[in-house]
Amino acid sequence: MRATVIPSPEPVLLDVKDRTEQFPVRRVYCVGRNYADHAIEMGHDPSREPPFFFQKNADNLFNGDTFPYPSASSNVHFEVELVVALADGGSDIPVSDAISKVYGYAVGIDFTRRDLQDVAKKMSRPWEAAKAFEKSAPVSAIVPATELGHPEMGAIWLEVNGERKQSGDLNQMIWKLPEIIAELSKLFVLAPGDVIMTGTPAGVGPVVRGDKVDCAIDGIGTLSLTVS
């Protein structure tokens, strides 16, 4: 390895269930408005238009039980999501081959500075400040597809302080997992270590410091944290 003029950044590594080896993260892609009810609650047409994508930074992902409330915002929302970790990639991947690229699955939360996002939308500006901030994407341990298979359905939910806020099923996704991977590969060259956050069901809402957040996807895992 060649010497660097400043220290090299630490790699982003996520836990894998029941294994000592970890999953290295290269890029993080997110799918916008992929559940019809969530599209409606955000004021959009839930018709099956081509999917759109945005990115978080790799180091926004972390395994942990504390979410630090970010600065520059007073309205941070939770969005529980199925997280897909890729073991292989490519460009222009056929739908029929897309699911073979998956290493495994996890539960994640796409925390969003909703107030900053609303301003960006009104001004037709990018969303990065609202989405790609420090520790904005806590995730559970990844479950390998060799153990789990490839889920097409399963309850997905989130609670705040014991009150159910989000409740849906993976079969409600407008764009299914193979389609998401295939469409994304038309825009980017996917590679091992890429992570895809696949959208959230309806019921998103705010958190405040001191809140206890619990979420899960049946058959995949649970994720619990405190907002600090």
Return d(Cα 80, Cα 217) in angstroms, integer: 9
The answer to whether residues 25 and 58 touch, using CB atoms and an 8 Å cutoff, is: yes
The per-residue pLDDT for range 169-206, each reduced to its tens digit, is 999 999 999 999 999 999 999 999 999 999 999 999 99
Contact 207, 79 (CB under 8 A): no
pTM: 0.94
What's the confidence (pLDDT) of residue 144?
98
What residues have CB less than 8 Å from 49, skipping those under 6 apart? Answer: none
